[in-house]
């Protein structure tokens, strides 16, 4: 039984809930539990979209520095793979994902949020990667995902300075996609996720894979990835349902099975 991270499923939406008071500091146990929750959300066919949520007060204020400060070079060399895997585990879920951010999302906390497909923040949110102020760099995917999301110049500014970015600036630079009142963050995330609970699950997974895998390569290779995934969907039941419904009833009326 997980101690700090749970997966709660309701109406086709899985919520990965981070709960290690007071600030959801991401110790190694919590990192492993995020990975386990992400795998459970992947395996559960009733889950069609996923929210990552730290609660009403804070998303996650970073790694557990007290724990990390005691680690040697050798220990961190052995641990860095599992650290990246845990903090980036949400990216491996082949379903639409959204981070619901209240309060602080710093360091490893922001890295968890960056691994989601979308980010919705409260207007009180503070986001940042302050690792250089500790004499290190973001190590859970932050240097890579942040630069891909907002561009290298803006990412370097955030990483070099370690400064906190408020919600409005985060929206302006593309770090978050929507800003709402803090007590509406989770509801806004559910509203976005609910769009996909009756969608064509395999098509959504293919769309996510095409974008994510294509970004890691050149355009020609990306187009080949897209072509392969597109053709493969013609083996699915939902493709038959969707196209038949369109021809017979017009757009937007298909009732997909997820197969």
The DSSP annotation for 46-68 comes to T--EEEEE--SS-SB--B-HHHH
Longest dimension (CA), the chain: 65
Domains belonging to the chain, first-starting first, are 5-196 (3.90.226.10), 201-249 (1.10.12)
pLDDT for res 98? 98
pLDDT for res 143? 98
Structure tokens, 224:
């080949």
- Count of residues making up the chain: 259
pLDDT for res 1? 72
Residue 48 contacts residue 258 (beta carbons within 8 Å): yes
DSSP helix/strand/coil, 87: helix
Q: What is the pLDDT along the chain (259 residues), one digit of tens a residue?
A: 789 999 999 999 999 999 999 999 999 999 999 999 999 999 999 999 999 999 999 999 998 899 999 999 999 999 999 999 999 999 999 999 999 999 999 999 999 999 999 999 999 999 999 999 999 999 999 999 999 999 999 999 999 999 999 999 999 999 999 999 999 999 999 999 999 999 999 999 999 999 999 999 999 999 999 999 999 999 999 999 999 999 999 999 999 999 9
Q: Summarize pLDDT for 47-91 with one digit per residue, the tens.
A: 999 999 999 999 999 988 999 999 999 999 999 999 999 999 999
pLDDT for res 8? 97
Q: Give the separation between CA 51 and CA 37, rounded to whole angstroms.
A: 11
pLDDT for res 27? 95
Lookup result for tokens 């969907």 = 233
Q: Give the separation between CA 241 and CA 245, rounded to whole angstroms.
A: 6
pLDDT for res 17? 98
- Kindly report whether the peptide bond that precedes residue 22 is cis, defined as omega within 30 degrees of 0: yes
pLDDT for res 59? 98
pTM of structure: 0.95
Catalytic positions: 111, 131
């Amino acid at each position: 039984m997980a101690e700090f991270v749970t997966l709660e499923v309701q109406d086709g939406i899985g919520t990965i809930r981070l709960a290690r008071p007071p600030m959801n500091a991401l110790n190694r146990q919590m990192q492993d539990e995020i990975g386990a929750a992400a795998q459970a959300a992947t395996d559960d066919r009733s889950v069609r979209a996923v929210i990552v949520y730290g609660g009403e007060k804070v998303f996650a204020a970073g790694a557990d520095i007290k724990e990390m400060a005691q680690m040697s070079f050798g220990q961190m060399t052995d641990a860095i793979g599992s650290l990246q895997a845990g903090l980036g585990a949400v990216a491996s879920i082949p379903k639409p994902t959204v981070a619901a951010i209240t309060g602080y999302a710093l360091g490893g906390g922001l890295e968890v949020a960056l691994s989601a497909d979308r980010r919705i923040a409260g207007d009180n949110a503070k986001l940042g990667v302050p690792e250089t102020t500790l004499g290190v760099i973001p190590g859970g995917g932050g240097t890579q995902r942040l630069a891909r999301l907002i561009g290298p110049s803006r990412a370097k500014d955030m990483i070099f300075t370690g400064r906190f970015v408020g919600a409005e600036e985060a929206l302006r630079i593309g770090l978050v996609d929507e800003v709402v009142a803090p007590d509406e963050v989770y509801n806004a995330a559910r509203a976005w996720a609910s769009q996909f609970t009756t969608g064509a699950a395999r098509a959504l997974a293919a769309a996510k894979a095409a974008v994510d895998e294509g970004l890691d390569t050149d355009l020609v290779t990306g187009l080949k990835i897209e072509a392969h995934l597109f053709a493969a969907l013609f083996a699915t039941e939902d493709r038959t349902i969707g196209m038949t419904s369109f021809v017979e009833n017009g757009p937007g009326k298909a009732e997909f099975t997820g197969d």
